[in-house]
Structure 1
Amino acid sequence: MLSLSTQLASRTQIQALPETKKATESDVAAIPATDAAKPAVSVTISGAAMKAAAAEKTSNSDIDDSGLADNVKNLLKMIREIKKQIAEKQAEMAAVMADKNLSPEQARARLSGLQSALSGLQASLTSAQASLTKAMKDMSAGDAVKAASLAMK
């Protein structure tokens, strides 16, 4: 056992804690099994969620099958995702405006937050589209047309 004593300016002595030893396999085996070792959470994925995941994979299959460069494919997928998020925020804004249970102050506060998020998404979309335009300059005319048409969907 290691013991250290130190005197502080206030003349108080502090003694270090004794060294601890690592648990051995026999020590661990001696610990009784409890319910804590069983998983506490069980996750079940519904059929609708599985269909939604499959639809998401197939929604970008035209991009994956386009034969374009990987960076262009990633940009096109990003543009689609951002457009989807913009549509969701716009739908949320419409729902807030139609909700008659909210006071005018509550509606303004929620709309302000949604407008802020929408502005950020629109800035991201502009940036992704600019990156796509830059990448398209190095493409053949056929690939550039293909990328532009995929970006419009």
Structure 2
Amino acid sequence: MARGGARVVSGPAPDPNALRRNRPSDKAGWTTLPAQGRQGEPPAWPLTSASEREADLWDDLWSRPQAVAWEALDQRYEVALFVRALAQVELPEAKADLQRIVRQYLDSLGLSVQGMLRNRWKIAAGEQPEPGEDAPAPPRRRSARDRLKVVPSGEGG
């Protein structure tokens, strides 16, 4: 096994809000995914017949914002293999190795926070309600003056 040297996921994940934005790796930029997710029917299942659980997971995953990027990159097989592994890892007798593989898929497909950052994906801000449209008022922040306690003169502590 090789020791030392750079690894694919070594170091901190990229930060879209970092102050220093002049690294060569920043030229690729960030992809903003739609908050409402991917619209339409999921692609056809590409592997051998899917179990009922796999079909449910497949439908759910292809409605997520990340699915827009998967479709653009034609990652049907990767997503299907993840679905198959996830369905197996849910079983009580699942092996630790399979759990590690599922975690790797979560990152590579951008389904974890780390994976989103490493793929340089952001999810667009959701729809903002119009003013007065059942939008809760933001909580009033206490000022320094509000936090002071008035002590009547003559009281000592």
- TM-score between the two structures when normalised by the length of structure 2: 0.29
- TM-score between the two structures when normalised by the length of structure 1: 0.29
Which structure carries more helix by proportion? 1
Greater Rg by CA? 1
Q: Which has the higher contact order (CA 8 A, sep 6+)?
A: 2
